[in-house]
Amino acid sequence: MIRVQLTAASAISKVMAGESLTSVLQQTWRANPVLSKQQRGAIQDLSYGVLRFYGQLSAILDLLLERPLRNKQLQYLLLVSLYQLQYSKAQSHAIVNKAVLASRSLVQGRRMQGLVNAVLRNFIRQRENLLKKAAESDTGRYSYPQWWIDKLRSQYPHEFRAILEAGNKHPPMTLRVNRRKTNAGDYCQLLAEKSLCAELINHDALHLKKAVAVEGLPGFGAGLVSVQDAGAQFAAQFLDVHDGMRVLDACAAPGGKGMHLLEVADVMLTLLDNDAGRLALIQQNLTRLQMTAERLVCGDASRPESWWDGQPFDRILADVPCSASGVVRRHPDIKWLRRENDLVKFATNQQAILNALWKILNKNGKLLYVTCSVFAEENSMQIEEFLKHHSDAMPLPLAEATLSKGQLLPNIQHDGFFYSLLQKI
C-alpha cells in the first residue's frame, strides 16, 4: 500500500501542476514497469477518486491543519489517505500506519510523521463533524472550483445541483452494438453466456451492469461492439446520413462517432484531425471494425484550404474542441485544470471552425455541431452567434425528448453533450 499511496500522491501533484491525469498515468506506467496489475488499478482508483472529491478532501484537510503544509507531496499523501479512509474498503488502521511509513520518504524527523498520524486519526474521530463543516462551502460540498459552480448555478438554476452531482459519479460502461454485424438482442445473449448483464439504453447502446476489460467482451476484437457513451451515440442518429453521401468527420479522433457513421450507412467518409498520432487511433478502430474510410487527413478544421479537395460535403460532423465540462466523471482532472478564461479561447476556436466548415458544406447539406460541454458559451451562444452572420443556415429540430434546446445534461445513463443540426438553405 505504501508504494500505491506515494505513487498516487505523485500523480495528483503533477495534475495540480497542470498535466492531464491520462498523460500522468501513462508516464507512471512507463517509469514503473514492475508495478503489478493490482497496483496499477489501485493507483488509478486513488488518483481518480482524489481528483473527483478534491474540493471536499482539501476542505477537510484545511480543518485538520493549523497552518498549510509547505511540503506539497506530504499534502497530497494526506489527501490520498483521507480519500482511502472516507471512500475505500481498506482497514482504517492499515491506511494510517502505511501513510505514516510512506511519509518517511517525503520528510525527515518524527514530528511530521507524528502530524500525519494525528491528522488521519483526528479525521477518524471527528469524521461526521468534519464532513458537515467541509460542506458549508460550495467547493467543499460539490468538489468543483467556485467559478464552475457559479456559472452552472446561473445557467441552470433548477438543474445545477444534479449536474454537479452527476459529474462526481462513477461513469457506466456503455457499448455501441455494430448493427452491421449483430443487433442488441443477439449481443445481450452473447453477454449472458459470459455471465455479463446489460440493459438497452437507446438504439444501439447497451449499459453493462458491471464494467469489464474490453478483452472480456465477446466479439470485441472482431468488431461486434465498441465502447462509447450513450450520449455520444446520438451524433450518428442526428446527422441523418444515407448511402452514397460525402461525409466529413472533423476533429475525428479517436474515431468513435465516425465509426458509428460507417456502421449506419455506406458513406464516403473523410476523417480529419490535426494530430497525426491520434489519427493512428482512428486507423486502429477502422482495422478492428473491418471498415474503410475514403480519406484520413491530418489538418486544421478551421483551415480547410490546406486539406480540402474542393468537393463539397453532404454532411459534416463538427465535434469541436471544448472544455469537456460534460464528461468530468470520466476525467475529473478537468475540473481543476480548466480556468474560466479558457471558455473564451474555446469559443473563438469553435466559431472559426463553424465558419470554415460551413463554406465546404453542399447546398441543402446538414452540419451537426457537437460539444461535450454543459456551458452555454460553447453551446447555445455559439449557435446564436453563428446564425446572426449566416442567413443561409436553418436550425433543424432534434427528435429526442431528453434534449432541452440541444443540451443533453449528464445523468446516470450518459455524459453531457450539446447538439445543434444546421441545414444550408
Is 298 a known active-site residue?
Answer: no
Burial of 247 (0-12, 13-18, 19+ CB in 10 A): buried
Max CA separation in the chain (angstroms): 74
Q: In DSSP terms, which residues pair with 421 in a beta bridge?
A: 368, 396
Task: Give me the catalytic one of 188, 251, 322, 372.
Answer: 372
CB 286 within 8 A of CB 259: yes
Closest-CA residue to 369 (of 389, 347, 391, 388): 347
Kindly list the catalytic residues.
372
